[in-house]
Amino acid sequence: MMFAMMWPRCLGGNVICGLMTVGLLGTAAQADQVSYRLTETIQVQDTQLPYTVDLDLSDETPSRLGFDVVLDLRQLQQGARSAFPQEPFIDTCNARLSNPKLLVSAKGDSLSVEGQFHAEFYACDRDKLRPIDRGEQVFSEVISLTAAASLNVRGQCLYFGVEDLALALKDPADGVADQREFMTKAQDLFIETSDAFLEQHPICLTLPPELASLTPQNFTGGTREMGDGGVGAQLKGSVDVSAATILDVLNALQAKGVIPRRM
């Protein structure tokens, strides 16, 4: 009965709240391992893209509950191709990078990125001027790219990172004499922009205040290949489920009205 009352209201506000609630109940029932599957969505531009969460909960110690979370991002991987913005992702006085077409695939614990974008460079009197202040165009080429990427654990989050980026002119015959200078500039701009974007969009295990006492720790994880080239991620760790913590969480959930107060 307690499960039926807690699950819908808790899940609506935070997936982790529901997962940990089930974890507490599973531990109380002394189950050796409990597994769950949830389907969630993430908004990219104006599109809602789905992904799947598989959770395994197991006894780690008498006072800690181990969890293994696997994110199946294959639907997100496919949908992101059409949802990715086509407007310029860099638009300054002296540079414009636009029309990215990227394909991401997984192999083992690493990610492969292939694609292309359009790079334009302009004469500009000085830095920090607006695009409207541009001078003549001095470079305009479609550039292909290959790169490796990975997921790294920091604290309670998984961060994407780009490594070994290599750029090349899609049609080298159309190159200009000083193309190397512009290719270096394009590479520096692409790395700087992608690093900043990825740093701001980690995958985090964020507990609501009611479950702060669970104190997640011992995190490991990274990229996980799903099927043939499908992108996935895995995060392992444990939470405190000592008697004092469970009582603390139940009291917090009662104060929030998630479960009824004791009579």
CA angle (18, 7, 254) in 5-degree steps: 90
Looking at residue 80, its pLDDT comes to 61
Looking at residue 71, its pLDDT comes to 86
Beta bridge mates, 232? 72, 224
209-238: per-residue pLDDT in tens? Answer: 767 777 788 788 888 899 889 989 888 888
- The answer to whether residue 21 scores a pLDDT higher than 70 is no
Place of tokens 């997640």: 216
DSSP state string for 72-137: E-HHHHHHHHHHS--S-SEE-SSEEEEEEEEEEEEETTEEEEEEEEEEEEE--SSTT--GGG---E
169-190: per-residue pLDDT in tens? Answer: 987 765 555 788 899 999 999 9
DSSP state string for 175-226: --TTHHHHHHHHHHHHHHHHHHHHHT--EE----GGGGGG--EEEEEEEEEE
Looking at residue 183, its pLDDT comes to 92
Q: Between these two residues, 213 and 103, which has the higher pLDDT value? A: 103
- The answer to whether residue 7 scores a pLDDT higher than 50 is no
Judged on CB neighbours under 10 Å (0-12, 13-18, 19+), 53 is: middle
Looking at residue 144, its pLDDT comes to 95
Cα(203)–Cα(199) distance, rounded to whole angstroms? 10
- The answer to whether residue 43 scores a pLDDT higher than 80 is no
> What is the phi/psi pair of residue 167, to 5°?
-115, 150
Looking at residue 3, its pLDDT comes to 28
- The answer to whether residue 119 scores a pLDDT higher than 90 is yes
- The answer to whether residue 143 scores a pLDDT higher than 60 is yes
Give the DSSP H/E element, type plus range, for residue 141.
Answer: strand 137-154
The band of 84, judged by pLDDT with boundaries at 50, 70 and 90, is low
Residues in the chain: 263
Place of tokens 């997100």: 76
Cα(182)–Cα(187) distance, rounded to whole angstroms? 9
Cα(233)–Cα(61) distance, rounded to whole angstroms? 25
